[in-house]
Structure 1
Amino acid sequence: MGEVVRLLGPWSDSVDVAAYGGGKARGLYALGEVGVRVPEWVALGTEVFEGFASAAGLTGELEGFAALGEVEAAVVRAAELRAALAVAEVSEAAVAVIGEAWERLGPEPIAVRSSMSAEDGAEASFAGQFDSHLNVHGLEAVIARVRDCWVSAFSERAVRYAFAHGLSRAYAPAVVLQRLISARSSGVVFTRNPMTGADDELVISAVYGLGEGLVSGAVDADSMILDRNTGALIDITLGDKDIRVDPGDGQGCATVEVEAGRRGARVLSDAETAELAEIARKVEISCGAPQDIEWAIDDTGVWLLQTRPITATASTLSAREVELRGAGERVGPGETRIWDNSNIIESFSGVTSPLTYTTAADIYGRVYRGYAASLGVPPEQLRQTDAWTPVLLGSFHGRVYYNLLHWYRMVGIAPGYPLNRRVLEAALGVAEPLPAEIAKTLRPFEFDNTAARLRSRARTTVIYARRLFGIDDLVEQFMTDFYRVYDEYDAVDYTALTGEQAYRSYRTVEGDLVRRWGPLMVLDAILLTLSGLMFVLTKLFLPKAPEWFLYAVVGPGADVESAEPARAMTELARVVRADPELNDIINSTAPEAIHDALRAAGRTEFRAALDDYLDRYGYRSLDELKLETPDLRENPANLFVMLRSAVGRVGDTVTANRAGEADAYLDAHLGHGLRRRVYERLRAKVSRCAAHRERLRFCRTRAFGMVKRMIRVMGRDLAARGVIDEFEDVFQLTVEELRGCYEGADTDRLREVVAVRKSLRAKDSTLVAPARFRTVGPRLGNAELAEQGWVPVTATAAATPGTMLTGTPSAAGIVEGAAVIVDEPRDVAGGILIAYRTDPGWVAALPSASALVIERGSPLTHVAIVARELGVPTVVQLPGITRQLRSGMRIRVDGAAGTVTVLSEGDQ
């Protein structure tokens, strides 16, 4: 059963356990009363600590501390007590009691756990606030660990927790000594779902070995949700089991690798899961409240190590209610959806906030509906598009995906679908083309009869042809309208706006731009058509043209606006490279301190040049379409990171733009006759449209930069009003929830919604996001997604010398050098930049790279296009390359062949 040891003798009834043994002892005693298996334990009662403190002359200080009613004063006094207790000698009387307790457990390793009087209570758990130690050997170590537990009662985190829960005087330290179980698996059971508050769900988390790694977050657990009444498995997430914690040094710090055969397996068998569920229900009934139970399994079966009430304010919201999963559309039981991240990760990489995702999905839906309307789609068919335009994007575990089948539908609005859909696949970087028999069925809308369909198609074709020939004027008119709006709102002093004013500005700008952007989406359709024709004409006129030729022969031109930041960065780098003092400041000063260092050095002219760069391009950032990412104006340190990298490349030989080679190839193989004139006319049209698209992308970046500033005003306003805890929490809201904050919606539960979503994000970031997967029907549970590749990140063996990885050529040229694997454009310094994905913000890093390799993306993505204009050899679409290469590996990039070859150190 266990007992409490005082200075004067043992106490073992339930009243004494609660009064003297603290929360852990109270829980262990309750488990013993249930009749479940509990490892033998002994509690050192509060009087043991009081005797120790008295012998050290600290009783008065402790009484003064308990009387304090102000948290900051208590934090200061607690620090003083902590220091005094840490060096105080443990009295002979206390040593004798600790020794007596230790001897009762025998010579085997034990656990030494805090058991404060207020710990594991019905109102506050103090979970994680005090120290516990596993695998403690010998009396001397036990005494030291007991004192550590006592001292931890006065840590700053514990003091602040106590005051926050109205328990500022509840300091009576006790300690539990418990026989250590040699566990092959361990974890916790919650008899009510702590994430959702659902009382019909039971949650089990399990790891191999001891459970300290689970508590500390050092290891990743299997997590199972069960029906509380039947024990049926509702959902399961398998943890990453590459490394597990085995506390071998008395501190819980040693690590051991899990056997390869168990890495992908479930920790618990079905029988063990069922047994734990049954035991947990039994404990809850006995204790009369939902319980958080710690367990371990050894060769003899299940042991319970502690239990306590679930005290955290569990959300009454279901995680499934607030998690954004799928696209939010109604899907029938047998309907298939294909999700592909293709080049969408250029815009929305990694875990993306709910506000960014829902804003993007909302804008995509409205823009493409506007696009359909601009092509004269009849009203009835336009209403049919409402079923799929709002769900062009989906979100899984925080990652954004194309809802691919609907994109084929979107392409079908314009004429030329059979050709355009194939160009769409190339433009998106889709690795697996959709089978023709499926693609042919994906119609954007239906008609009652053939005549109505033909009339609509004829009207759409006529309008489309007009747009094709008038696209230059259409783009120029849009640019005029865009910069009229942009210049007005970019000049606003956002620091002076109220939240309401920022919201009104946001709605005005967003509505105006979305309305104007819809008709411009015809440009993407035109570019698909023209690129397809260019491909056909090239195959007809130049059937033996190399693969690189098609990407080199067409481009937006060297003066494309979106390349301006890279050119401006190169000019700044040249100035730094030519000036030793500037070079030293940029390369030896922390990025966040460079601006002040330049001021101190009197470099006013160069500072003015930097300020000019920020004025012109300060709206740019890495992941610049993610609203949560600060731009260069908000975080100018990133500017210096990119500048430092560019300085290292100034003066290096840059591969020439390949357009000249494309011209030479045309001269040699096509001559200057009629076919050449036809080819050049189409080439010029494609190039102009490519340039127009880059200009529009630049406008999109500027627009998002402006919206970011407005949203930050709203975030600070909502935090000041107490709607959310801190301004960054605004990004955990959906765009509909944000609008509701300023349109009279109930905001009482938003903090609860934010808390649930933030807790989900940490788990999401540990999962592999497959490039493409399918779902069937409405069920999108963790188990179904795991079968589609959503599993924890696992190590991949490095590629060996001689390995050749083949992707898609994007910009010709051959470069050998050191691979630099990066998740943001920094510290490249002439190396070969290897990235999983890029976004437009990476353009500024191109001058620092000798070559560019992008795992996900297409030759038509923004950075790939600019890389061609800057003459940087580029290969894209190499699945798994960021996991197979290592920074520092010597590699050869052949941009024309689309290959990356791993070299040995001796290869030159």
Structure 2
Amino acid sequence: MTFLITDQAPLGDLRARVGGKAHNLFELTDAGFPVPRWAVLGTEAFDIALAAADVQVSDTQMTLSERLAEAAYAEAALQELLIPQQVREAISAALEYVGDGNVAIRSSAKHEDGAANSFAGLLDTFLNIAGIEAVEDAVRRCWASTFSPRATRYRQIRGLDFGDVAVAVIVQQLIQPVSSGVMFTADPVTGARDRIVINAVLGLGEGLVSGAVDADSVVVAKHGGAVIEETVGAKGQMIVAGDQGGVRTAEVPGPRQQVCSIGADLRSGLAELGARLERHFGAPQDIEWAYTDDAQIWLLQTRPITTLEDESGFEAEHFGEAVAPDALRIWDNSNIIESFAGVTSPLTFTTARALYTDVYREYARSLKVAPAQLDQMEAWLPVMLGQFNGHVYYNLLHWYRMVGIAPGYPLNRRVLEVALGVGEPLDSTTARQLKPFAYAGPVLKAFHRSRSTLTYARRFRGIDELVQDFDAAFEEFVERHGLSDVSTLDGPQAYRKFRQIHAEVARIWGPMMVLDAVLLTSVGVLAAMTKVFLPHAPEWFGFAIVNPGSGAVSLEPARALTDIAAFARSSPELWAFIDSADPATAYPQLVEYAEDGDRSWQELRRKVDDYIDRFGYRCLDELKLEAPDLRQDPSGIFHMLRMAAPEDAARPNDSAQAYLDAHLHGLRRTIYDALRAKIQRAATHREHLRFARTQGFGILKSLVAVMARDLQRRELIDDAAEVYLLTRDELFGLYDGSTGRAEARAAVTRRRTLQRYYHELKAPPRFTTIGSSYTATELTAAGWSRAVAAAEAPAGTVLTGTPSCPGAVTGRAVVVQRPEDFSSGILVAYRTDPGWVAALPFASALLIERASPLTHVAIIARELGVPTVVQIGGLTDAVRTGMTIHVDGGTGTVTLLEEQPDA
């Protein structure tokens, strides 16, 4: 049994026989590091298994689909293999060598855990295995995992030789740790090499890997050991044992205890061990460790850190702005987060960036901006948005420039800050220096600014007629391009239609951007008037008084859902279906029941179909091309219909009107009402325009889906979803010939890897850059960091935000990332988008961490009379689902109370 190799074998050149992971264990053992006893079934055993299973791996060139089919056969054959006798004897000998007790079984592929290829998480590991039969099954599954779809894709993407596939299997003594985890001898996200990052959980580390247990995290300085950052995760009930310097001996009662699994002595020992490992291997290491109750730290494996640079060779991709080395830029996502939250695909971002450019260019033309000044705007129009680590930001200084196109800049810029919800206003000196363009002389400036001002005044007076003209143009646009049926189009046809729509949409939408300017000016004037006429008005009044009114189209989706839910609840059979059906398959079932059932089923289907026809594009992340809308995936409507019926779905908000009636009369009231009416009409028009915008993006989504299927069929991409990893120009290039297949595949490979890391980052709401260099070190200094769980705030904590709708509510907090996860209580969210409106009738109050009082959902919440507070710093870090909190929408305060809800 020459293929059974123990940890006492000479190191030699064993990598080809034992794989990367076992080779690293040999190095650890040989260097005297503490490693639990182990042995390895070399790759010869794998070759014997392949022969016994009649599996042959071709080394010829194949497409990914062909390679996946070959691998699927091999995976299935190995999973069903009867272990050959000589291998069975080697397994028995390995178990005898490592000693009594349970074992860990780990794959160790030839290229695994190397500096070039990590295979991190792609091959299988099994813990707590006991008995020869269970060990044989684990060995069999380790072999099979080398042919899993994820490992096969990785090999294909990395260009590895499939004829050289080889995997060994480690059999290792399983120790029973007090705590365990991973340690990085450099920051795996930022790449900073002056620190050591330790993550840990109590007990076995599988809870850390699966995410089932909240991990503890500590970052210490590599030299000196000072604690830079520490986070203690909440843990369930468990027994903790160990010495005082490692983990405190105690029984942890109750469901949410703050007990650290990384004591001071353990932290110090790990840091010292990590530094030794880095010196030994000559590179930063990713280390798995375990700590036992006799104060012993054991090393389970180590590999080079799989950072962006080290594992993939890919540097993070940023879409910023090319500027002078000393030029300041402010990046803020306060309002854009409503449209493009979190990691956003390259296709969505580059499409949106181009549309913003074209739309605002047409807006300037509509205000009679002269050609010479339009040319100057090209220096900043194309870069009004930026994208860093996959997150979208306003290039804020250019938005101040855009506001300067219309008259009234000093007033408009202040209202802009409120509308965007920016955390800090721009200083007056900088703001005054920001001009959208310059003129050759004062006379020319006076002439052109006068012409733009007169044009703006006409637009201001005739805004209702302008919206009517838009409606007619948009209706004709929809009739020409269609909103739903793209089934007859092929890829090239979809490409041509996409480009045509892209070009048309700016001409339709550009002139309508004057509506935003009208609102900025009007709201600013009304705010000044309020300060004079109503000097003691509460803060929320200024926002509530400009709400668009009950006729806004934005309210209709929520009302329609309430109507459907009420109808379904009138029939026990219908509601049982809504309440129990899997949302993913509910719509096809409803179609079937409607065809075979009575009129109530047919009526329910009619109502659902009508909702999808009217509001199918108003969905979560509706402006993200990668996010399916209800026409593509109707499951979302069934999630919403499951919500409990509100006690009082109709809560008209008359607080602002009541305050006005009580405090303002006579001529002042007449003047005030006239301006307010103008603002409310403009706000209603704006909500209408936003819904039309959503429909336009819906058309683009349908066309991208057609192109994606076409590109996959032609094997230009491997999966339809990969189309969203291309930029707009790269996608166009696959049809006009300017992008080659290899170039597109390389871009997809790079960005797929990058996006995994983007999701691990915590994006700051606002940061500044100097020049155009966006290195990891510079962005870390600007506020980018690893995403770590924060400790909940103690009872008695008072959080403050911006009051948006008055009302006092005490109740149970429900913190959600998606509206379908909410059913009742106080709705708490980091951010929202228009797709959240359907949840508002079921909320007793609304709290949003990142939103302005003029954001879409805040406006609708006021119309529904839902007490609302926005711009609450640290909200979703401090509040957890189940907490009892008191919300005062009038003062903008949120108080965490002592009492807890019943279990």
**Interval of TM-score (by shorter of Structure 1 and Structure 2):** 0.7 to 0.9
Amino acid at match of 1:152: R
Partner of 2:542: 550
Q: Give 2:739's aligned residue.
A: 746
Counterpart secondary structure, 1:334 = coil
> Who is 2:498 aligned against?
506
- Preserved CA contact (<8 Å) 1:806 1:878: yes
Residue from 377, 392, 407 that aligns with 1:385: 377
The answer to whether 1:681 aligns with 2:674 is yes
- Structure 1's 14 and 719: CA in aligned 2 closer, same or farther, altered over 3 A? same
Q: Which amino acid aligns with 2:883?
A: M
Corresponding residue to 1:276 among 255, 260, 278: 278
Task: Indicate the residue corresponding to 1:900 in structure 2.
Answer: 894
Answer yes or no: is 1:605 the counterpart of 2:603. Answer: yes
Pick the aligned partner of 1:63 from 34, 42, 52: 52
- Measured in 2, the distance between the counterparts of 1:266 and 1:357 equals 46
Q: Is residue 2:626 matched to residue 1:633?
A: no
User: What is aligned with 2:844?
Assistant: 850
Shift of the 277–402 alpha-carbon distance from structure 1 to 2, 3 Å rule, reads farther
1:525 maps to amino acid: A
**Which SS does the other structure have where 1:418 is aligned?**
helix
Amino acid at match of 2:54: F
User: Cα distance 1:761–1:12, how it changes in 2: closer, same or farther (>3 A)?
Assistant: closer
CA drift of 1:874 comes to: 2.0
Structure 2 Cα separation of the partners of residues 840 and 264 of structure 1: 46
Contact 2:335 2:420 in 1 (8 A): yes
C-alpha separation between the residues in 2 aligned to 1:763 and 1:262?
A: 31
| CA–CA separation in structure 2 for the residues paired with 1:884 and 1:435 | 31
Q: 1:377 to 1:111 in 2, by over 3 A?
A: same
**1: distance between equivalents of 2:298 and 2:506?**
60
Q: Deviations over 1:253-303 (max 9, x none)?
A: xx994548899999979x97798378438xxxxxxxxx9997989999999
- Match of 1:496, SS state, is coil
User: Which residue of 2 is the match for residue 702 of structure 1?
Assistant: 695
Change in 2 beyond 3 A, CA 1:262/1:827: farther
Higher Cα radius of gyration: 1
Alpha-carbon offset, residue 588 of structure 1: 2.8
- SS of the aligned residue for 1:834 comes to strand
Please give the TM-score of this superposition, normalised by the length of structure 2.
Answer: 0.80
The percentage of counterpart residues that share the same residue type is: 42
Structure 1 residue 319 corresponds to structure 2 residue 315:
yes
Change (3 A) 1:304 1:504: same
- Root mean square deviation, CA, Å: 5.1
What code does the residue aligned with 1:387 have? A
Q: Distance in 2 between matches of 1:791 and 1:634?
A: 35
- Establish whether residue 813 from structure 1 lines up as the match of residue 811 from structure 2: no
- Distance in 2 (CA, whole Å) between partners of 1:8 and 1:189 is 28
Partner of 1:869: 863
Task: Using the TM superposition, give the Cα deviation of residue 452 of structure 1 relative to its aligned residue in structure 2, in angstroms.
Answer: 2.6
- Seen in structure 2, the aligned counterparts of structure 1 residues 736 and 181 have a Cα distance that, compared at 3 Å, is farther
Deviations 1:17-72 (A, max 9, x none): 57866666667779999x9989798755659969xx9xxxxx99963534698655
Contact 1:114/1:173 (8 A) holds in 2:
yes
What amino acid does structure 2 have at the position aligned with 1:652?
A: D
2:401 maps to 1:403 = no
Question: How many angstroms does 1:153 deviate by?
Answer: 4.3
Structure 1: state its 5+ residue gaps: 54-58, 225-236, 250-254, 282-290
SS of equivalent to 2:54: helix
**How many Å separate the matches in 2 of 1:238 and 1:800?**
20
What is the TM-score of this pair, normalised by structure 1? 0.80
2: CA distance, partners of 1:882 / 1:420: 31
1:648 maps to 2:645: yes
Q: Give the structure 2 partner of residue 81 of structure 1.
A: 81
What number of residue pairs does the alignment pair up? 847
Query: Equivalent residue for 1:362?
Result: 354
The 5-angstrom pairing of residues 223-302 of structure 1 reads 257=260, 259=262, 276=278, 279-280=281-282
Select which of 705, 715, 719 maps to 2:712: 719
Instruction: Return the letter of the residue paired with 1:550.
Output: G
Q: Are residues 813 and 750 of structure 1, via their aligned partners in 2, closer, same or farther at CA, if it must alter by over 3 Å?
A: same
Tell me, in whole angstroms, the C-alpha distance in 2 between the residues paired with 1:40 and 1:23.
18
User: What amino acid maps onto 1:619 in structure 2?
Assistant: Y
Per the alignment, residue 250 of structure 2 pairs with none
1:342 partner SS: coil
Are residues 1:428 and 2:420 paired?
yes
CA contact (8 A) 2:421 2:852 kept: yes
Please show how residues 477-516 of structure 1 align to structure 2 within 5 Å. Answer: 477-490=469-482, 493-516=485-508
With 179-188 and 436-445 compared, the bigger mean Cα shift is at 179-188
| Partner secondary structure for residue 803 of structure 2 | strand
Output one character per residue of 1:160-197: Cα deviation in whole Å (capped at 9) or x when no partner: 7589777589778564769999999976899xx999xx
Give the direction of change, closer, same or farther, for the CA distance of 1:746–1:203 in structure 2 (3 Å limit). Answer: farther
Contact kept, 8 Å, 2:858 with 2:868, in 1: the verdict is yes
Equivalent residue letter for 1:618: G
**Are the equivalent residues in 2 in contact too, given 1:14–1:29 (CA < 8 A)?**
no
Shift of 1:867: 2.1
Contact in 1 for aligned 2:103/2:173 (Cα 8 Å)? yes
* Structure 2 gaps, min length 5: 59-69, 221-227, 242-257
C-alpha distance in 2 between matches for 1:906 and 1:71: 53
Identify the match of residue 461 of structure 2 among 469, 491, 497: 469
SS in 1 for 2:799: strand
Amino acid aligned to 1:764: Y
| Paired position in structure 2 for 1:883 | 877
| Equivalent position amino acid for 1:781 in 2 | T
**2: CA distance between counterparts of 1:494 and 1:611?**
18
Would you say the 8 A contact 1:5–1:11 is kept in 2?
Answer: no
Q: What does residue range 301-380 of structure 1 map to in structure 2 within 5 Å? A: 318-320=314-316, 323=317, 325=318, 327-380=319-372
Structure 2 CA distance for aligned equivalents of residues 795 and 382 of structure 1 = 47
What CA deviation, in whole Å up to 9, does each residue of 1:680-722 have, x standing for no partner? 2211211111111111111111111111111111111111122
Q: C-alpha distance in 2, partners of 1:730/1:208? A: 35
Note the C-alpha offset of 1:668. Answer: 3.5
Shift of 1:639: 0.3
Determine if contact 2:118/2:311 at 8 Å carries over to the other structure. no
Moved more, 833-842 or 803-812: 803-812
Alignment correspondent of 2:615: 617
- Name the CA distance, whole Å, in 1 between partners of 2:290 and 2:412: 59
Tell me which amino acid in the other structure corresponds to 1:78.
L
Amino acid in structure 2 at the alignment position of 1:588: S
Q: Deviations over 1:705-754 (max 9, x none)?
A: 11111111111111112222211111111112122122211232222222
Deviation string 1:90-121 (CA, Å, 9 cap, x unpaired) is 9788755764x548xxx999986555789789
Q: For residues 192-203 of structure 1, what are the structure 2 equivalents within 5 Å?
A: none
Go from structure 1 to structure 2 and tell me whether the alpha carbon gap of 1:463 and 1:89 turns closer, same or farther (over 3 Å shift): same
What do the CA deviations read for 1:628-651 (whole angstroms, capped 9, x no partner)? Answer: 111011111110111222x521x5
Deviations 1:363-386 (A, max 9, x none): 112211222222222222221111
Give the CA deviation at 1:346.
Answer: 1.2
Q: Match of 2:775, as an amino acid?
A: G
Q: Give the 3 Å change call, closer, same or farther, for CA 670–703 of structure 1 in structure 2.
A: same
Give the Cα separation in 2 of the matches to 1:118 and 1:802: 55
The residue that corresponds to 1:227 in the other structure is none
CA contact (8 A) 2:184 2:305 kept: no
Aligned to 1:150: 139
Deviation at 1:814, TM superposition (A): 3.0
* 1:285 corresponding residue in structure 2: none
| Distance in 2 separating the partners of 1:9 and 1:891 | 57
SS of 1:809's equivalent in the other structure is strand
1:760 aligns to 2:754 (yes or no)? yes
Residues 414 and 679 (structure 1), Cα distance of their counterparts in 2 relative to 1, 3 Å cut:
same
1:367 is paired with a residue whose SS is helix
CA apart distance, 1:455: 2.3
